Amino acid sequence: MKEEEKYMQRCLDLAEIGRAEARPNPSVGCLILYDGKVIGEGYTSPYGGNHAEVNAVQAVLSTYGSQEAKRLLAASEVYVSLEPCAHHGKTPPCADLLVEYKPGKVIIGCLDPSEKVSGKGVERLQRAGIPCEIGVLGEKAKWSVRRFMTQVTKSRPYVILKWAETADGYFGSSDLQQKWISNPATKQWVHKWRSEEDAILVGKNTALIDNPSLTVREWSGKNPLRVLVDKHLEVPLEYKIFDSAAETLVFNAERFDLKKNVRFIELENFDLYLPQNILYQLYLLDVQSLIVEGGAKMLQSFINAGMWDEARIFSTPEKWGEGIKAPEIRGEVIEESQIADNTLTVMKNSAFDS
């Protein structure tokens, strides 16, 4: 790895620390280098707070005092994983802050495609005479803000499919009973993943058979918005998916109203383009990411519509010989790991790479 890639990797690692709290803002990492030494770093504060560049500059100011900091910053290189913003949002533009201290160079992971930024941050820096280098660890930088990128460029949430299957490709029991597939250790992973996304979706049969809460219990973090697809409202309101632990949306063909924490959204032509319509409604509600946890029919309908970005599949050594078949999917395998005797395969949908 080249020197500059190492510093960008550090920015990406910093961004990861702030990710859960920064939502819906993309989490960004920033590092300031003077004469080969890191003199300040920062990452995006919880939503509404400072951007990474502000935190990194403040770190330099508080370590060195304002006069010395000004001298160091003017001769520094600033690494940042996403293009500095150029607009007044909840905080002033980061590009203006950098222009104020005028570092020797700004090295950027990837550009910000949102209308408010989209090259304007770089333009402002370059107009002030600050050289910019763009695209250092560019693919990794885009990956780190993939939820935000998807929302901005595709006008829909980032979609993660998740399921468990047996070695012979089965997914559920054919006798309408819940039958656990993956090992207990995977449960903690699943709860961590739930805490990282805005919403979680299941189909009607899964809600009826498994009666899941879809909350975060074996990890710390926020419960996602729960989404149920239930055309004729067959899932009783006493089921766990409607408890007070989180809000629930029910996409259906019968009613459009709100009852306590449950919002019923009636879809016209329910069976037509269902995944697309659900994603559009979630986009309107500012949902940036969705994890689809089953069942097989629901997952397959997202796959068939091409409406997925990432799939996380646990496979077990066990063979069942019969049952509900697991969804069929084709994608690029980007990771394979072992969790005790289960294999976790992560795929991405290369068909939709932008």
Ligand X SMILES: NC(=O)c1ccc[n+]([C@@H]2O[C@H](COP(=O)([O-])OP(=O)(O)OC[C@H]3O[C@@H](n4cnc5c(N)ncnc54)[C@H](OP(=O)(O)O)[C@@H]3O)[C@@H](O)[C@H]2O)c1
Catalytically active residues are: 53
Q: How many residues bind ligand X (CB under 6 A)?
A: 25
- 204 near ligand X, judged by CB under 6 A: yes
Q: Pattern 92-121, binding to ligand X, x per CB under 6 A?
A: ------------------------------
Residue nearest to ligand X (CB): 295
Q: Pattern 304-343, binding to ligand X, x per CB under 6 A?
A: --------------------x-------------------
- 53 near ligand X, judged by CB under 6 A: no
- 173 near ligand X, judged by CB under 6 A: yes
Four-CA torsion 239, 242, 243, 245, nearest 10 degrees: 140
Residues 312 and 206: their CA atoms lie apart, in Å, by: 18
Q: From 17-25, 295-303, 329-337, 343-351, give the range in contact with ligand X by CB under 6 A.
A: 295-303
In the region spanning residues 267 to 286, those forming contacts with ligand X, defined by CB under 6 A, are 274
Distance of CA 191 to the CA centre of its chain: 14
Q: From 34-42, 87-95, 119-127, 297-305, give the range in contact with ligand X by CB under 6 A.
A: 297-305
Provide the minimum distance between the beta carbon of 165 and ligand X in the complex, in angstroms, as a whole number: 6
The alpha carbon dihedral of 22, 24, 25, 29 has a sign of: positive
Q: From 30-38, 151-159, 163-171, 258-266, give the range in contact with ligand X by CB under 6 A.
A: 163-171
Give the residue carrying structure tokens 């899941």.
212
155 versus 178: smaller Cβ distance to ligand X: 178
86 versus 164: smaller Cβ distance to ligand X: 164
Residues 186 and 192: their CA atoms lie apart, in Å, by: 10
- 164 near ligand X, judged by CB under 6 A: yes
- 252 near ligand X, judged by CB under 6 A: no
Q: From 53-61, 145-153, 277-285, 287-295, give the range in contact with ligand X by CB under 6 A.
A: 287-295
- 301 near ligand X, judged by CB under 6 A: yes
- 163 near ligand X, judged by CB under 6 A: yes
In the region spanning residues 174 to 193, those forming contacts with ligand X, defined by CB under 6 A, are 178, 181
Provide the minimum distance between the beta carbon of 306 and ligand X in the complex, in angstroms, as a whole number: 14
15 versus 324: smaller Cβ distance to ligand X: 324
CA-wise closest residue to 266 among 254, 258, 275: 254
CA-wise closest residue to 312 among 277, 352, 346, 286: 346
Four-CA torsion 163, 166, 167, 168, nearest 10 degrees: -110
Residues 68 and 168: their CA atoms lie apart, in Å, by: 65
Of 203, 265, 310, 329, the residue at the interface with ligand X (CB under 6 A) is 203
Binding site for ligand X (CB under 6 A): 163-164, 171-173, 178, 181, 202-206, 209-210, 229, 231, 274, 293-298, 301, 324
